[in-house]
Structure 1
Amino acid sequence: MDSAQITISIILLCTVLLFLWGRWRHDMVAAAALLACVITGLVPADSAFDGISHPAVISVACVLILSKGLQNSGAVDVLTRLCLPSNAGPTLSIAALTALGAFLSAFMNNVGALALLMPVAMQMARRQQIPTGKVLMPLSFGTILGGMTTLIGTPPNLIVSGFRQANGDGNFSMFDFTPVGLAVAGVGVAFVALIGWRLVPGRKQAGADSFDSGAYITEARVPEGSKAVGMTLHDIELALTEADAQVLGLVRNEVRVTPPSPRRRTRAGDILMLEAEAETLSSALSSLGLKLEEAKATRDEREKQEKEKEKEKEKEKQAKEKANEQNGKVPAAKAQASKAQEPADIASVAKADTDSAKAESSADSSADNDEIILSELVVLPSSSLLGRTAAGIQIRTSFGVNLLAISRQGNRSVKRLRAQPFRAGDLLMVQGGPEAISEFASSTGCVPLAERELRIPNKRMAVMATIIMGVSVAIAALGILPTAVAFAAGVLASMIVRTVPPRAVYNAVDWPVIILLGALIPVAQAMESSGTAGLIANVLLNQLAQGHAVVALVLILVVTMNLSDLMNNAATAAVMCPIAIGTANQLGVNVDPFLMAVAVGASCAFLTPIGHQNNTLILGPGGFKFGDYWRLGLPLDLLVILVTIPMLLWVWPL
């Protein structure tokens, strides 16, 4: 070994050890490795950051943004209702949910697919009366398996494609991963759903009680064209059963009907008072095409409020003028001007409704131009809201915030939202711009709850997000444009039609992953250019594989799988790709099966909760311990090896 090979080997060893140690974040470790290579001269300083502009890195960032559009718009809700059985046993229900998760993760970020379906999994566990973890772990593994079926399914596939191009063989196409990936995912999902979920330890959900905010009472309007038009309230109750929602009351022409007759049929424009959990509210609304009703004051209420304000202003003005006249400080000209202004003040009272409408229009315009979010706020005992109503404080016109729902644990009220006096401990679901919500919270004495995903379905946005993703995939698959360019165009389209608001685009990107990839790509290239990758491959061949190509292929797959269980899957792919290429070159065989083995192995993080973000996400909700994953993960790993090697040899001959 020469000095360059010794240096890069030491840097690589330290990098892997730091990854395993876990004290530093992955992107910090990768950046340190890159800087070490630059300082030692292994990577030229002027090309140190070329990895950030690598097509694989750009593609990963763009796919994350497009996935966010699908996630926020509620595009998956319709698919969930169509694909998941409503009346089935645990095995069929888990099989359908896991298969849906695998399908979604083939075209969107794996973490996004899991995040979308986690609330559904928890509902399913409660309905089937089985531990939550027995549904969450199969779902997590299913989304990981589904990612290996397409080029954009997971970052390791994009990295592998990038190394193939750097090797002079061109990129893998969108569905080059599908034959092997689909076979592995299909067998894996079938095993997990039919047998594997029974191997998952049944533990109590960690911290379940502490995060239960109770059901929200909200108002949903029945718009024209909604499925609910003409349905009886009894039928609506049955349709909402899957979302664990129920009808508490009906409002028609501003008249509340409580309790309504189950035989009463709804009309367009009716308002249903619903009770639902925050996580299932989206499903409850989208199942019948309902829309949340904003808690805003009526015209009469606004006129009364405006007149009261004008009277208070007039009294204050008269008192001030009287005090000034007594002090001899008001000139005659100013007094005349004050009198001349009185008609204008009277006219302003008559224009109260117009001004209020303009204020609402302004708030709507502001909402259109800014990012709109949903937030949960808790009313503190010292809040200025206590005893007041949404109509009374003019929450929409004064703050630019919409009150969508109220949760009051232990108490159920069927009053209109705008007429419910706020109490200490109430949970408010509000909608508006981040700054508007922050100002409302600080000025009224409310504090936000821990952030969680709340989605209100938007049919138009869901359709647009789906079209944009589909067109981007088609353009990349047909080779009309390079993958990175196709998805960058999709991101631009998403920003234009606002399926992902422009100000939220950068928040949708997992920047630690982007920095990790951008930093490790030059390091991996240094491994290859210094001959270190070929040296490691030679050791593997001579000491373990004994020159047998199939044995070497199995070794590459197994080593990659084990590394992926302990370190980030993208980092694993970046480290193993040069070794796989070097091994194939040493043997004089086709490079593609070895790169595909890296792609499959990097996606098989089933033994620990730290190998993949999805496994980490279910750790708390499933009540798992570190050692619980191998019980399902180990047999699944063995099954993956048994399926992958024959498929690789058949689809990508040596």
Structure 2
Amino acid sequence: MSWQAWATVAIIVGAMALFASEKVRIDLVALLVLATLVVLHIVTPEEALSGFSNEATVTVAAMFALSLGIERSGALEPLTRLLMRIRKPWLMTLAMMLAIAPLGAFVKNIALVATFLPLALRVCQRTGTSPARVLMPMAYAAQMGGVCTLIGTSSNLLADSLAQKHGLPPFGVFEFTKMGALLAVAGMAYLMLIGRRLLPKHIDAALPEGGEVGKYVTELVVGEDSPLLGTRIADAQLGDKYGVYPLELLRGERRMWSPREQQLALGDVLLVRGDWEKIEDFQRRARLRNAPEQHYAREDDHPRVLAELMVAPGSPAEGRRLAELGLDWRYRATVLAVHRRGQVLRDKLSNIDLTVGDVLLALVDEGGMPKLRTDDAFIVLSERDDARGSMRKAWVAAAIMAAVVIASGLHWLPIPIAALCGATAMALTGCFGRKDIYEGMDWKIIILLGAILPLGLAIEKTGLSTVVVQGAMGLVGNHGPLAALLMVYLLTALLTELMGHNPSVVLMVSIAVTVAHAAHADPRPFVVAVAFAAATSFATPVGYPTNTMVYYAGGYRFTDFMKVGIPLIALFCALSMWLIPQLWPFHP
């Protein structure tokens, strides 16, 4: 191999390590890959920028806008109200999957799960069921639905775009539907009959009676009228009397050593942990003040709502501190406490760097809740019920989405043009606000797509794809195109679990096409295998964003995804090996 090929291998290995570690944002990893390819003269500057004008990148951006219009117009509200009537957990699981899978074919999966997640949590709380019994099947159903159409997930669009660059004819909007629907039915049957038996029955993260997600950490200030003034923390026996546990004692800017032996003084800040109801009871009986609420006290008498907000995957709040988010002036919200799964926080709330899955307990002005619900940085887990949008806008958004699907499905317009026209129509009809389109756009995914696409070009230019295929075909031997198809599917599935679905598509489409030529078969079934394997990532909580969302909210362990997801991947793989050659023959 040439030095450029070896350099490309090193870049791929480094990118995989960074993607898997999650220590660097995915868009930054992609930009790092792009910059390295240009600096080493593996791709030209024109080739490096070609990903940002690629049809897949433009279409994904437009589909994000369409999905945003569906979500924020309230088009899903009638369905959520209907699902709220269900009382039995197993029926809720089935109903969620049946509702989400068809919607996932047209609406962004993350938006779907974010919409239905609070509903699922409320039903679980009402029925005394662990959220772990419902949330994972819900996330899987979103992926099953997304693969049913060309526009259902970004990896499908990406696979189609890359396949066209290899001279293959474009896939139709509904060309994946037959196979996707059969896999979805089989997958839901597996989850209801077998998968539910593998899910944890009792889990620490299940919602307690009061509705809080877990034990919160908050700051309480000792005032002059507190009976704890002058007493030692150890003597106060907070755990025995109140069910609240002191973590730290902060005096001014100092963190006191051996806080249990310290006498409480006026103005001391106690960092305590416990269920929110017990913290409130302790605060009332000990006549303490909540430090954040005192700091941001309002002089008006506007009604306020106590809301639980989870930091969403890909949120701009990730890695930032509360003061940097501007919640107080954007939504007139005061964060009272923070809960982090599997970790006891020991810093002042203002010093905590937020991470995905953190749950904030916030006091929010009632008028700020509608805008907060539309902020993609957070998922509102619980709050006072309120109507979302008008039915007129909901019908308009649904009609525009249907028009986009029909126009692209009947080939009246190319998919990117139809999606852009639909996004413009939604903006003009007020399905989302003027700034919503920019605030709600998942820029990380768009940057990822634009920056990672030239890596596929580098794999071809350096001859790396040919070397990989020669080695792979040596392993497959003379067992025919079906064995080669199985190898492509399994390799794509493995890469997806390690580095995410879009980068794995970029790496595998070129390899899949070359494998097909080496096996003397039509490349289209091999591209389909890449698309389906990449869009159905079930074995880890990091392979797909919807998995990450329910991982934190459901309190799962990493191994829970492996127990349920690996057999499901095996089922999908076996069915795909049967269905793909029938629907896309090796020798048409």
The TM-score, its normalising length taken from structure 1, stands at 0.64
Distance (whole Å) between structure 2 residues aligned to residue 189 and residue 62 of structure 1: 30
1:646 to 570, 578, 588: 578
Q: CA deviation at 1:36?
A: 1.5
Going from structure 1 to structure 2, the CA distance change for 1:37 and 1:379 (only over 3 Å counts) comes to: closer
- 1:137 deviation in Å? 0.7
Equivalent position of 2:538 in the other structure: 606
**2:180 aligned residue:** 181
- 1:87 to 1:3, Cα distance in 2 relative to 1, 3 A: closer
Aligned to 1:562: 494
Matched, 1:475 2:407: yes
Preserved CA contact (<8 Å) 1:164 1:172: no
1:382 is displaced (CA, Å) by: 6.1
Q: Give the secondary structure class of the aligned counterpart of 1:610.
A: coil
Q: 1:2 to 1:198 in 2, by over 3 A?
A: same
Q: Is the 8 A contact 1:15 1:33 kept in 2?
A: yes
Residue 517 of structure 1, aligned match among 449, 466, 469: 449
Are the aligned partners of 1:205 and 1:622 in contact in 2 as well (CA < 8 Å)? no
- Choose which of 512, 523, 530 in structure 2 pairs with 1:580: 512
Counterpart for residue 26 of structure 2: 26
Q: 1:394 corresponds to which residue?
A: none
**Counterpart in the other structure of 2:148:** 149
Distance 1:111 1:26 in 2: 16
Query: Does 2:429 correspond to 1:497?
Result: yes
Q: Distance in 2 between matches of 1:62 and 1:183?
A: 28
Do 1:31 and 1:519's aligned partners in 2 also have CA atoms closer than 8 Å? yes
The alpha-carbon deviation at position 89 of structure 1 amounts to 3.7
Distance, in Å, in 2 between the alignment partners of 1:383 and 1:587 is: 68
Structure 1 residues 333-382: Cα deviation after superposition (integer angstroms, max 9, x where no partner): xxxxxxxxxxxxxxxxxxxxxxxxxxxxxxxxxxxxxxxxxxxxx99346
SS in structure 1 at match of 2:367 = strand
* One-letter identity of the residue aligned with 2:414: P
Cα distance in 2, alignment partners of residues 624 and 432 from structure 1: 29
**Corresponding residue of 1:92:** 91
Paired letter, 1:24: V
The answer to whether the Cα contact below 8 Å between 1:111 and 1:614 also exists between their aligned partners in 2 is yes
Q: Aligned pair 1:618/2:545, yes or no?
A: no
Distance 1:451 1:175, change over 3 A: closer
Change (3 A) 1:14 1:379: closer
| Among 563, 566, 569, the residue aligned to 1:634 | 566
- Give the match's secondary structure for 1:629: helix
2:125–2:211 contact (8 Å) kept in structure 1: no
Amino acid at match of 1:457: R
Unaligned runs of 5+ in 2: 214-290, 304-328, 337-361
- Choose the corresponding residue for 2:387, options 449, 456, 464: 456
Unmatched runs of 5 consecutive residues or more in structure 1: 214-377, 392-399, 408-424, 436-447
Match of 1:429?
A: 366
Distance 2:330 2:56 in 1: 40
Contact 2:168 2:524 in 1 (8 A): no
SS of the counterpart of 2:567? helix
Partners of 1:30 and 1:132 lie apart in 2 by: 34
Q: Call closer, same or farther: CA 1:479–1:379 in 2, change over 3 Å.
A: same
| Corresponding residue for residue 338 of structure 1 | none
1:531 CA displacement: 2.2
Cα displacement string for residues 154-199 of structure 1 (whole angstroms, at most 9, x for unaligned residues): 1110011001211112221101111221111111022113331221
User: Cα distance, 1:14 vs. partner?
Assistant: 2.2
Deviation at 1:602, TM superposition (A): 0.4
Q: State the shift of 1:402 in Å.
A: 11
Q: Could you tell me which residue of structure 2 aligns to residue 526 of structure 1? A: 458
SS of 1:430 mapped into structure 2: helix
Aligned position for 2:239: none
- CA offset at residue 134 of structure 1? 0.7
Give the 5 Å matches for 1:196-595.
196-204=195-203, 206=205, 208=207, 212=212, 380-381=293-294, 385=298, 389-390=301-302, 427-431=364-368, 451-453=378-380, 456-458=387-389, 459-546=391-478, 548-595=480-527
- Does the CA contact (< 8 Å) of 1:379 and 1:427 recur in 2? no
Q: Deviations over 1:11-67 (max 9, x none)?
A: 222222222233212111111111121122221113311101101011111111111
CA contact (8 A) 1:152 1:158 kept: yes
Whole-angstrom CA distance in 2 between matches of 1:426 and 1:505: 27
- CA RMSD in angstroms comes to 3.1
Query: Does residue 596 of structure 1 match 2:528?
Result: yes
* Higher CA-based Rg: 1
The answer to whether the Cα contact below 8 Å between 1:134 and 1:198 also exists between their aligned partners in 2 is no
Q: Distance in 1 between matches of 2:66 and 2:150?
A: 15
Contact 2:132-2:206 at 8 Å conserved across structures: no
Q: 1:143 to 1:87 in 2, by over 3 A?
A: closer
CA distance in 1, matches of 2:562, 2:363: 42
Give deviations 1:522-577, integer Å, cap 9, x for gaps: 11012123321122112111123445211110111111111111211111111111
Distance between the aligned counterparts of 2:369 and 2:180, measured in 1?
42
Structure 1 partner of 2:343: none
- Cα distance in 1 for partners of 2:473, 2:452 equals 25
Structure 1 SS opposite 2:174: coil
Counterpart residue identity of residue 79, structure 1: L
Q: Residue 567 and residue 203 in structure 1: after superposition, are their counterparts in 2 closer, same or farther (change >3 A)?
A: farther
Between the aligned partners of 1:633 and 1:432, the Cα distance in structure 2 is: 36
SS in 2 for 1:589: coil
Q: Which residue of 2 aligns with 1:113?
A: 112
1:130 aligns with 2:137: no
Q: Does 1:77 align with 2:77?
A: yes
Letter in 1 for 2:456: A
Structure 2 length as normaliser, TM-score? 0.71
CA positional deviation for 1:428 = 2.9
* 8 A contact 1:133–1:205 mirrored in 2: no
Whole-angstrom distance in 1 between the partners of 2:194 and 2:127: 17
1-side partners of 2:534 and 2:406: how far apart?
26
Cα distance, 1:513 vs. partner?
1.1
Q: How many residues align?
A: 451
Superposed displacement of residue 507, structure 1: 1.6
- 1:56 maps to 56
Distance 1:110 1:178 in 2: 17
Percent of paired sites with the same residue: 29
